Structure 1
Amino acid sequence: MDMTIAELKEAFAAPKPFYDDKNFPRGFSRSGHFTLLESELLQQHGYLLTQLFEQKLKPKNTTQQQFVITFLNHKQPTNRIEKVWAKYLDLTTRKHKVHTLSIQKPLAHVQNKSEPQEVEPSLE
């Protein structure tokens, strides 16, 4: 059974809002990675999700227990909260690749300009 957003919000009621200024200094909604609903869910419930994920808190209901089991056993997320948390983890823990579009010769082919260069004398 798929839970509604209202039921999920009730099941994951958090004591305080969640902010990740290290990874999202302008907030979740302005990062461009999350929808407005996803950023709202992270801000309102991210603190509790972090505590459950890091096993600092024990689950208080079956929905929270399901969340812990999902991430401990690396299962596919099934509800909206699990999906947004998986997206958050993906964005904050994966290695970022940087691709450049420049052409540059390897440094071995570049002459060091500080070394004196031999000049052949001309016989003119």
Structure 2
Amino acid sequence: MTIDFKVVAYNIFEGGVDTSNPTGNGHPSTRLNDIAAFLRSLNLTLTVLTELNGFDSLRFSNFASQWNHQYTAFLTAFTGFHLGISSSFPLIELAQVKHGMHHGALVAQVNFDDETKIGL
């Protein structure tokens, strides 16, 4: 089995806030829509996003659905700089690491099928 595995790590800068044109809520939909459109255009297998400020697990899951990723993992960092992983394949054996970390880390395994798995 050959897998075309594409992954990107993206710091969306403080939750995707457009600092050049801030709005009352700090999260103008055009900036987040642009990020989602960019990620969708790449047809990625896995996406790792940092600085998900203002997000929670549900909001991140809804955001990831915009680039057709139905599997997500989210780490709520005490610093407010949350982390998220999204995938087009199931994420399994997930762990959140906070001890000894400034913001935290997510550990996941992508399950392509019963025999093919990649740890991250």
TM over 0.5: no
Which structure ranks higher in relative contact order (CA pairs < 8 Å, sequence separation ≥ 6)?
Answer: 1
- Bucket of the pairwise TM-score, normalised by the shorter protein: under 0.3
TM-score by length of 2: 0.23
Please tell me whether Structure 1 or Structure 2 has the larger radius of gyration of its CA atoms: 1
More strand by share: 2
More helix by share: 1
